[in-house]
Structure 1
Amino acid sequence: MTKQEMRTEATKKAILQSAEQEFSEKGLYGCRVDEIARRAKVNKALLYRHFNSKEELYKEVLVRVYTRLGDLEEQVINLKTDYELKLRDLVQIYFQFLYDNPSFVRMVMWENLNGAKSFKERGVAETKNPILHELGRIIDEARLRSDVPETIDSDQLILTLIACSFNYFSNMNTLNIIVGKDLMLAENREKRIQATTEMLLAYLKEREQKQTHA
């Protein structure tokens, strides 16, 4: 790579990092390109040379934050124990990802407020999500071994995982007030991880018991 190409890549990276901060804090419509350029320490003309519009830059940032989910794939692939332990590890990994990536949480919130318009246009839903993929695979494998009944609804399990994990971080400010605790503290996060895991396992075991008594 030439020095010019390296400078170009560095500039683009700086713009994307700045834009991620701005978009996650203010959303697409509340964010100003001037402020993104200022934070990136570039002029606005240079920003538009790399990205034709604020909307295009926003979509690029959206893909950027979603693509980070793919970085979890190696951790997920290495889960090689029985389905209960796999599920416990998977929930732990997902909570840690959400904790480490607050801009991911905020960008998803903004997208929902805007009707997931950019999410659909940019095809972000097709971005690799090893957490949800692995959860489905865990259930499929458990079915084959008859560890869980055929009646288990993988979609419902996935929706429950998302609701119990993502909402914990997206609603953090109000939840802190409601429960009177700092839910970001490691000990409180660990309690929530444990409760979520037990809830998912209870669903699986309840279905198994119903299948056995049927």
Structure 2
Amino acid sequence: MKRKNKAIILPVQQRSVKSKESILAAAETVFAQKGLHGARIDEISQLANVNKQRIYAYFGSKKKLYRQILLKVYSLAATNEKILSLTEKDVPDMTLLIIESFFDFHQQNPQFWRLLAWENLNGGKSLNTDDWQKIRSSYIAHIQNLYEIGQQKRFFKKSLDFSTYILTIFSVTYFYYSNQLTISHLLNLDLETKLVRQKLSEQLTEILT
């Protein structure tokens, strides 16, 4: 009897998981294009091919769904294997490795910096203190630990604190892709070429080490 019940429940569970995945994928696309206030549940529902009542049943409201999307994309950044796999032996070369890793992440995940831009326009109020603590406790703490080891071994300047170091990397790599089209025109420089990015990575490494 128990086996029979299990056979009936599993397909329902699988459909539920698939529906949630479809909703999250559609919501990420729509929120990245239009932000929290411009996005409509009807549009997400249509793109996900899911009844909008099901969206409310799973996530409660548009704001709660938006928060889930932010957590999803931030978690994607926070679980970057290239960063988390760095060890003490990588410290001498880690700045260039981190810069290139962040560049790769932004290039491969344009939804991330689009959502980040919208969330800043929204006042950065969608995530709570616990959310940010979970994000910080993963890759930021890992990089900081390696940076402090590097300072002790004189691979990094004593005068350059970690917050300035990581903020500089965040800023340059984010700005490079989020403003690529306009800055290319402004500087008359094709930021889509590998050579330009490589040169920037190397020179930024020199500045920070």
TM-score band, normalised by shorter chain: 0.7 to 0.9
Instruction: Pick which of 94-103 and 192-201 moved more.
Output: 192-201
Alignment of 1:101-116 (within 5 A): 101-116=109-124
SS at match of 2:79: helix
The CA RMSD measured in Å over matched residues stands at 2.2
Q: How many residues align?
A: 201
**1:105–1:72: structure 2 CA closer, same or farther, 3 Å change rule?**
same
CA distance in 1, matches of 2:109, 2:137: 15
In the other structure, the counterpart of 2:93 is 85
Unaligned runs of 5+ in 2: 1-8
CA distance in 1, matches of 2:137, 2:116: 14
Contact 2:86–2:94 (8 Å) recurs in 1:
no
Alignment of 1:171-210 (within 5 A): 171-201=179-209
TM-score for the superposition, normalised by structure 1: 0.83
Residue among 1, 5, 15 paired with 2:23: 15
In the other structure, the counterpart of 2:49 is 41
Contact 2:83–2:139 (8 Å) recurs in 1:
no
Unaligned runs of 5+ in 1: 202-214
Instruction: Pick which of 40-49 and 74-83 moved more.
Output: 74-83
SS at match of 2:201: helix
In the other structure, the counterpart of 2:6 is none
1:69 aligns with 2:88: no
CA distance in 2, matches of 1:117, 1:59: 10
In the other structure, the counterpart of 1:211 is none
CA distance in 2, matches of 1:48, 1:82: 46
Quote the sequence identity (%): 29
